[in-house]
Every structure is written in C-alpha cells, then in structure tokens.
Structure 1
Amino acid sequence: MIRITNTQVWVHDQEEALAFYTEKLGFEVRADVTMPEMGDFRWLAVAPPGPDEISIVLMAIPGEPMFTAETRGQIEALMAKGVSSGIFLTTDDFYASYEQLKSRGVEFNEEPEERPYGIDCGFRDPSGNNFRLTQVKELAGL
C-alpha cells in the first residue's frame, strides 16, 4: 500500500516558520535534522498533534547547485502572490478553532463564510503559503 507521509511548503526562514507552525497553529515537531555533509541542509517537519502520519516539511529554498538564482526568484515571486501552495485544515468545531487561532496571533485574510460544503476562511503563513480552515458538512450522496 502506498501512503502520503510528507508534503512540503517553501519557507523564507525556517526558524520563523517553526515558530508560526508550533506557537500559532499548535503543531508539533516531527523531525528536525541538520545534515552537515549536505551543506547543513535542514529537514524540518511539523504536524498537528496526534497519530497522523502526514507531516508538512518546512523547506528552505535552496540555491546553487539545486536552483539557479532565477529559479529561486521565481519561487519567491509565487510565494509573495500566495500561489505556491495550498494547505487545507479541517476541524469539527470551526468557530472554536477560528477563535483559538486568532487568539494565538493568526491573521486571517478572509472572514468565515458559509459555503455549500461547510464553513470556510483563509490565512497565510509568514512565507505567504495559503491555508484554508474548514468545517466540512456532510454532503448528500457521499
């Protein structure tokens, strides 16, 4: 059986991202390994508390030889527009989760809205990655 274990988002600063994901979103560190033999490459993975196997890797944008300066600049431009990634978070109690995140300093760029699939709103992390916070309602026929 094949499973998803990690996904990644590009981040400008791994320490800033780590603080946001752990202090504001309440995630926990799943891996934080620096590999000196690979130019101090850092594998930093976080996830919501619990037994889920899926983690988000907070990946610094590499330079040469992996990415040229032009490619790195293109990634940074997409991040600034908020189109380089999208992460969907679900909750069983939307308004409690929304208020908890706001109280921790998460700045929402959209107010909660009732939609055909549930309650939904958006925010971005310090690097510009888009998030959706949603309480999905049961859809007929599924």
Structure 2
Amino acid sequence: MNITIFSSFLPHTDPEASLAFYRDLLGFEVRLDVGQGAMRWITVGPAGQDTSVVLYPPAADPSLTEDEQRTIAEMMAKGTFASLLLATADLDAAFEALEAGGADIVQEPIEQDYGVRDFAVRDPAGNMLRVQERR
C-alpha cells in the first residue's frame, strides 16, 4: 500500500489576507480558488510538491451550530484551533523573510529540547504554523 497525504484543511477568515500570506509571503502556488467573497475555498501548496492546503471558510459548514461557530472563531483568534508544521533547509532566511513581510511572529528561532530547531508564526486567520529546520 502506498498512501500519501494529499490535502489538509485550514480555516480562513479573509481570503485576500490568506492569499497574501500563503502565496506572497510563503511562496506557495495557488492551485484552485473557488467561490466568491468570504465564501472561497483556496487550495495552495509548495511548488513541486503534491501536498496541498485547502483554506476554507469555517462558516460554510451548515452542520455547525451558532455556539460551535462561536467556539471555533474564539479558538482561531487564540491560535488554538488549527495548526500546520512546515520545514525548510534555511530556517533563518525563512524567519527573516516572514518577519520582514509583517507576519505575526509567535516565537523566534529556537533549539527545542525535543531535538528540532524551529519558530512559530500565525497566519491571518490565527492558525499556528511552526517552521522547523530540515536537517
């Protein structure tokens, strides 16, 4: 059996801000952009890789109650609802580019006790992204 990760999902609250972050700051390519206004599903991913991230509007799920939508919005605002782990060969250059681009830096590069060097940043919707150094 050969199973790979194809897509993962992260919520967004502002499609244009999400595009500016994932496309312009991270350099991901836009693979699909469907919908209108705030109700857009935007698929992005690193060039040359099959793995994608689908940025979706959490309010589009009709099965969520108002209380659940409110809880998700509160968790997103705190950066505790969704997360993504990225990797790069040049952690310092990635950090400097994101910092210079005005990204919401949560933690500067640090050598973690568990054996990785990484930093943390939040996307415009509040999703927590950790970027670790590929060794």
* TM-score clears 0.5: yes
Q: Give the secondary-structure state (helix, strand or coil) at the position aligned to 1:110.
A: strand
SS of alignment partner, residue 121 of structure 2: strand
Larger Cα-atom Rg: 1
Q: Distance in 2 between matches of 1:84 and 1:25?
A: 21
Q: Is the 8 A contact 1:63 1:69 kept in 2?
A: no
The alignment yields a C-alpha RMSD, in angstroms, of 2.1
The number of residues matched between the two structures is 132
Q: What letter corresponds to residue 107 of structure 1 in structure 2? A: D
Q: Which secondary structure does the structure 2 equivalent of 1:73 belong to?
A: helix
Specify the SS of the correspondent of 1:67.
Answer: coil
| Offset, 1:87 | 0.7
Residue 55 (structure 1) aligns with: 52
Partners of 2:131 and 2:62 in 1: how far apart?
37
Percent identity at matched positions? 36
Q: 5+ unaligned residues in a row in structure 2: which ranges?
A: none
Deviation at 1:128, TM superposition (A): 0.7
- TM-score computed with the length of structure 1 as normaliser: 0.82
Q: In structure 1, what is the equivalent of residue 5 of structure 2?
A: 4
1:110 aligns with 2:107: yes
CA deviations on 1:74-112 (whole Å, 9 max, x unpaired) are 111111121111111111111122112222222311121
Q: 2:63 aligns with which of 61, 66, 69?
A: 66
| Unaligned 5+ runs, structure 1 | 138-142
Contact 1:6–1:54 (8 Å) recurs in 2: yes
Deviation string for 1:15-41 (max 9, x for gaps)?
Answer: 221122111222110111238xxxx95
TM-score calculated relative to the size of structure 2: 0.85
